[in-house]
Chains A and B, each alone.
Chain A
């Protein structure tokens, strides 16, 4: 349905046809496949870095015509994150074709693959945990969305009275606390179970994550540590390895780590201290340039945010935070009856906030579903690779 996926279909087809024609894996062809793979990686990330101008909008579009190129396509927007998931799935499918299709199983069990493959599988397990944590984090974002909706509903009341503003302000304050809360505060919640009622008495029943005992992933689990561990033995292949299968393995691992890193930075996630440091992406490689570009952009943002504490870099959350601050300001200066000018400018902001909520409503759950799909894809691929390895084990060392 998306262009990238059409691409992938024909790519797979070509590989399988070719491999079927030549029972022996022809190195020249393999070389060609590898180059194509790198090109696709480069193309996809370039598109993510600077999306092409959207096609001419059909005149009968139901959305309002304010701001023709909305922030939806911007890096870290929820739409963009969904695209990133698609990109990951495409890359992964292509990679698996290169790794497994028509290949003699014993080939990937010999050195250096006896080291590289297990390392890669190990990374994929860590990626699974990150997926789980992120799905959970998106639930927190949905909670922010609902707080924002409360504020929007209150500020849309006409005539706008002190009561409405009071209510909106409370919801906004809770929203802002939730958005700026640091991971650690979230997880410990000091005194655990009493968290609920104490928050209520402070005036907001439901600040951010009121989880009494745990995050989604096990105790002591840390997203930053997992990302770090995933990169620990990740190094570009050297010498004659650089021309063969180790290269796409390295590329795919890098893409995986990168995607997980982005997700972790985007939404609330368990333990992220030092996240910005953990992604050594090789800058000089062609396929990696756009990826590095995206990484730098997000990394800079992260460093800024890390200082003041942030629940995540998702574009909608960032804008929500800005709007939240300025609406709180409006609320602080509000006296009934509302001054016309202030009310109008607030109304515009409320409308923007409502628009963000609407987009979150539309896209967050599908994003969750996509991440679950990524989870299942990783599980499936891992199983397939293990199966091939088992086969290889039988072939090379027949059972006594």
Chain B
């Protein structure tokens, strides 16, 4: 009540001015639908102000006039209020401003009657007491009407805003699906949509039509003034809590799951839910809740800031806790390596929200339960993420095969790991924070050489390199399974080249650094040399002989060379060097060596043309077939002989 009585009384003549102002406001609203936000706010404030000016008018009346005057006023007020009682289907708001104003005027008349009597209860006569009693009943009728009005207005004018560029429900494209054998993450999967950055373009959406704000404020003011604040809060909380629940469940399609559900879920389904959760938590906490808080502040902040906080926490509590409990439930699962990215995403969003909004949304004692729940979850996710990260590394380090990888191409483990690692730089801040104190053996000890970027020496970089080091030793073990030395080198070359390519062409290069890249280029080039020595040294040695060899000996050498070449051809056309550039390089450098030696041999020795099965051009052409991963052994004898 105190708030109302402090207003300046307005002499009767000014009512016209007030009325005129109302008209101006209305006309302005009607004139243009695209009023800018500032102006809208100004108008709303003005409207609220005007309605309270009108109400304060009643103050003097009670003091100055006699009982009959009071009774008369009360009768009129009662008529207005009871008329609305007959008209339950219509909202007062929809009847227009002046009608609403009449209702609030009447209400304050009644309230004045009551407070007038309350001040002097002992002097009052029986008649007067009866008026007091009736006034209290009429007040309660009016309050009930306002409670309903609050419900209806908030429900009918609520707006569910879909943040732009956002689609939570669809799982775009192919998801990363992984089984224990690291099979299915291929290069094309990386077309991960990264639209998350765009979600929060516009903060503070209007969760209800701004038109109703002055009206709701007026309801709040009236109910608080008449000691119905508790009722107002309960109703307000109930509507807004349900709106948030509906938003989360329907618009964002976030279902609630029990721990039992989450533990029983298939990984593919869980993966989708975890991804969705990451977005939903962000939208709800960073976008919806600040708007909700602003709505509470708008309506209650002016005259009861503490109520605003209480309402906001009660509105948010249920949804926030249920979102957080999904995170808790996921943390109960044993950490599989494939969960790494999802966990990282979940951790990252929780850490970001903690840094950003949680403390300001839930600052004091009232919100401590929610604030703490956020902190607890974030801590848990951090721990789970690190565990998963280490498990991932361990899985890479201990991956075993029993058979050599056919064709010597790029092992699916290499593909998987490198493509997975490419996803991680996006989470570098989270990773740096998480991995800071985790011990790691890194191949690059300190800042030396050409690497100057700090990212190359960040905890993330060290751990990423160490994962690749683990991958390299695993590949080394897999390479030992080849009985053919040459194929082993091709295998190592292919895989190392693949790693370098993945690093060079992605964000990873800032983490691995130039020195790493240089070393690894050298490493696969070394594999090339090793291969050439292993395959071609012995073959080419067949062409070597002394200058005084007989023609027969030379012919025999040539024959042996061609046989050996056939053998290489038969084997190595089935081998695979998937990268075309690398294959070209390999063809060229082999060709240079082999053709040159062969040409030299043919030049040095006179061998009849019929004894020469392959010309230099044949050899050059045939070499191009190597590493083409041909499906079946191709015999040169039948097809290639001229």
Q: With A149-B230, A166-B137 as given contacts, are A135 and B321 in contact (CB-CB < 8 Å)?
A: yes
- How many whole Å from A260's CB to the nearest CB in chain B? 13
Q: Contact check, B148 vs A200: say whether CB atoms are below 8 A apart.
A: yes
Query: How far is it, in angstroms, between the C-alpha of A303 and the C-alpha of B140 when the chains are bound?
Result: 39
Known A-B contacts A196-B242, A205-B238; A214 and B256 likewise in contact (beta carbons under 8 Å): yes
* Chain B residues in 8 Å Cβ range of A203: 144
A247 at the interface (CB under 8 A from B): no
| B-facing residues in A119-158 (Cβ within 8 Å) | 125-126, 128-129, 132, 135-136, 139, 143, 146-147, 149-150, 153
Interface residues of B in 210-254 (CB under 8 A from A): 227, 230-231, 234-235, 237-239, 242, 245-246, 249-250
Task: Contact check, A216 vs B256: say whether CB atoms are below 8 A apart.
Answer: yes
Among the 9-residue stretches A79-87, A217-225, A278-286, A307-315, the one with 4 or more Cβ atoms under 8 Å from chain B is A217-225
Structural contact, B133 and A129, CB atoms closer than 8 A: no
Number of A-B contacts (CB under 8 A): 144
CB-contact partner of B332 in A125, A146, A193, A201, under 8 A: A125
Assess A162 versus B400: contact at CB under 8 Å? Given A149-B230, A200-B152, A213-B250.
no
Size band of the B side of the interface?
Answer: 35 or more
Q: Please tell me if B121 contacts chain A, counting CB pairs below 8 Å.
A: yes
B400: nearest residue on chain A (CB-CB)?
A: A400
- Cα–Cα, bound, A126→B263 (Å): 11
Contact A126 B234 (CB under 8 A): no
Per the 8 Å Cβ criterion, residues 300-338 of A in contact with B are 336-337
Q: Is the CB of B255 within 8 A of A196?
A: no
B273 to chain A, nearest CB (A): 11
C-alpha spacing A182/B250, complex, angstroms:
26
Query: Known interface pairs A153-B227, A163-B138, A200-B235. Does A193 touch B148 (Cβ–Cβ under 8 Å)?
Result: no
Instruction: Name which of B257, B325, B331 has the most chain A CB atoms within 10 A of its CB.
Output: B325
Query: Are B258 and A221 closer than 8 Å at their CB atoms?
Result: yes
Q: Per-residue CB proximity of A334-372 to B under 8 Å, as 1/0?
A: 001100000000000000000000000000010011001
A242 interface residue (CB < 8 Å to B): no
CB distance from B341 to the nearest CB of A (A): 22
Interface residues of B in 252-274 (CB under 8 A from A): 255-261, 263
* CB within 8 Å for A193 and B263 given contacts A170-B144, A205-B147, A219-B255: no
Task: Decide if B318 is an interface residue (CB 8 Å cutoff).
Answer: yes
Q: Chain B: interface secondary structure?
A: helix
Given contacts A128-B259, A163-B136, A164-B136, contact A212 B242 (CB under 8 A): yes
The answer, yes or no, to whether A161 is at the interface (CB within 8 Å) is: yes
A174's nearest neighbour on chain B, judged by CB, is B234
Interface check A101, CB cutoff 8 A: no
What are the residues of chain A within 8 A of B249 when measuring CB–CB? 212-214
Q: Is the CB of A218 within 8 A of B261?
A: yes
> Which A residues from 195 to 236 make CB contacts under 8 A with B?
195-197, 200-201, 203, 205-206, 210-219, 221, 226
B242–A369 CB distance below 8 A: no
Find out whether the CB atom of A369 lies under 8 angstroms from the CB atom of B136.
Answer: no
Instruction: Look across to chain A and name the residue whose beta carbon is closest to the beta carbon of B373.
Output: A372
Contact residues in B for A161 (Cβ distance below 8 Å): 132-133, 136-137
Closest to A170 in B: B144
- The smallest C-beta distance from B401 to any residue of chain A, in angstroms, reads 12
The answer to whether B230 and A153 touch across the interface, beta carbons within 8 angstroms, is yes
CB of B398 within 8 Å of the partner chain: yes
- Taking a contact as CB atoms closer than 8 A, the residue among A167, A205, A211, A219 that contacts B140 in the complex is A167
- Write out, one digit per residue, whether chain B residues 134-177 have a CB within 8 A of any chain A CB (1) or not (0): 11111110011001101110010000000000000000000000
Q: Which residues of B contact A36 (CB under 8 A)?
A: none
- Within 8 Å CB of B7, what residues of A? none
CB-defined contacts of B138 to chain A, threshold 8 Å:
163
B234 in contact with A205 (CB, 8 Å): yes
Q: Show 6 residue pairs from A and B whose CB-CB distance is below 8 angstroms, ordered by the A residue.
A: A126-B260, A205-B147, A212-B245, A216-B318, A221-B258, A372-B369
Q: Sort A-B residue pairs by CB-CB distance and give the 7 closest, nearest first.
A: A163-B136, A205-B235, A161-B136, A200-B151, A163-B137, A163-B140, A218-B258
Known: A200-B151, A212-B242. 11 other contacts (CB 8 A): A125-B259, A129-B259, A129-B260, A153-B230, A195-B242, A196-B239, A200-B235, A205-B148, A205-B238, A210-B238, A368-B369
